[in-house]
Amino acid sequence: MSSLISRRSFLKAGLITAGTAAAAGTGLASAIRAADGPKTELCTLLDLNKCIGCEECVRACREINGHKFPEPEGPPPIMRPVERVKTADWSSPEKRTVTDRLTPYNWLFIQRARGEYQGQSFELNIPRRCMHCHNAPCSKLCPFGAAYQLRNGIVRIHPDVCMGGAKCKTICPWNIPERQSGVGLHLDLLPQYAGNGVMYKCDRCYDRVAEGRLPACIEVCPESVQEIGPRNEIVQKARDLAGKTSGFIYGLEENGGTHTIYVSPVPFDVLNQALRKGPGRPQLQPVENVMADANRWIGALAIAPAAGVIGALARFKQTAGQTQKKEDKPS
Ligand code: SF4
Ligand code: SF4
Ligand code: SF4
């Protein structure tokens, strides 16, 4: 019997141990890395034939993960040099309600594509969020170790460690993480010169997954657009679905392979043309493996040791100050 995980069987599948939740509760990236359960890489399959664009998933993501969203205590500090370091403030009541792009308060949005393919018009809805790459460059090249990959493949940015420098966004082929200024550790360390906030993105509901629960967006979808399971089974399922529907696949090879695989009735180059793209609205074009060309990012790697020392100090400070953060509590 397939171990692809349905809503009902996810808990039973036992892919994640109780120890995961305990480790996550410490609030320390290193602890989570050391004990995040079995090394089964979870992957999602999104069947774009099924998505009706109702945004139930978007609402659920915002509700379930709302306690992880940034809460600035005042206006962000003026950064130096002013011209180079930009402020990104999404914390006003109006901006928090934006749902048609990725923001620090909106980790999933429905991207609409309307066009023509083989003489027929199409309209497709594409749930967009972090792809949770197999060999995630954001986690490999974050100078502070704030972005990291759990052994189940989930890529997370730890808000207590992130300095908001946005290396993860620069290196991400889809520029997924979004910055909120005026929050984070840099305010305590070098408020005017380091980073400028914290980067936010989908964490695949890692805390729910650690408890054997489905990510919120999967649980609430009325059309069962998404499935989650071990990557090899999801890949096979995607190939079968594409074969059966004469469909097209995205995510198998992109950036060296991701843990998010789309199957579409329309080729992805046609979909990409039809998308509204820009800040917070990622493309859907073919992507080469960023980590295969790591030399290009030698500058980032060169500063990593020094930054690592700061990161270690930062973690020490966090550990001394608090043992458990609100954002690590199970929802
Ligand atoms: S993925 Fe599901 S919940 Fe989200 S918009 Fe599509 S149909 Fe609605
Ligand atoms: S999509 Fe971007 S942010 Fe997400 S894991 Fe891949 S590189 Fe990192
Ligand atoms: S997996 Fe969780 S955090 Fe990611 S988009 Fe779905 S609900 Fe949001």
Which atom of ligand 3 sits closest to the CA of residue 64? 7
Q: What is the pLDDT of residue 120?
A: 95
Q: What is the pLDDT of residue 33?
A: 47
Q: What is the pLDDT of residue 1?
A: 36
* Pocket of ligand 1 contains residue 127 by CB under 6 Å: yes
* Pocket of ligand 1 contains residue 225 by CB under 6 Å: yes
Q: How far is the CA of 24 from the centre of ligand 1 (A)?
A: 28
In angstroms, the Cα distances linking 30 to 161, 217, 304, 322 are 11, 27, 16, 15
The ligand minimizing its distance to the Cα of 110 is 1
* Pocket of ligand 3 contains residue 129 by CB under 6 Å: yes
Q: How far is the CA of 217 from the centre of ligand 3 (A)?
A: 6
**Domain parsing of the chain, residue ranges:** 10-328
Mean pLDDT by 10 residues, the chain (331 residues): 41 33 35 54 97 98 98 76 74 97 98 96 98 95 92 95 90 96 78 77 96 96 97 97 98 96 98 96 94 64 47 45 37 30
**Structure tokens belonging to residue 69:** 């969203």
Q: Which CATH class is domain 10-328?
A: alpha beta
pTM above 0.85, yes or no: no
Q: What is the DSSP string of 178-221?
A: EEESS-STHHHH-TTTS--SEEE---TTHHHHHTTPPPHHHHH-
Residue 103 pairs in a beta bridge with 106
Radius of gyration of the chain (CA): 19
Determine which residue's CA is closest to atom 6 belonging to ligand 3: 217
Q: What is the pLDDT of residue 188?
A: 72
In angstroms, the Cα distances linking 297 to 32, 86, 137, 171, 179 are 26, 22, 10, 9, 21
Residue 260 pairs in a beta bridge with 44
219-278 per-position pLDDT tens digit: 999 999 999 999 999 999 999 999 999 999 999 999 999 999 999 999 999 999 999 999
Three-class HEC string of 68-92: HCCCCCCCCCCCCCCCCCCCCCCCC
22-35 per-position pLDDT tens digit: 333 333 344 444 44
Residue 258 pairs in a beta bridge with 133
Q: How far is the CA of 170 from the centre of ligand 1 (A)?
A: 29
- CA 268 to chain centroid, in Å, comes to 21
The best mutation among 131, 203, 231 to test binding of ligand 2, ranked by most ligand atoms within 8 Å of the C-beta, falls on 131
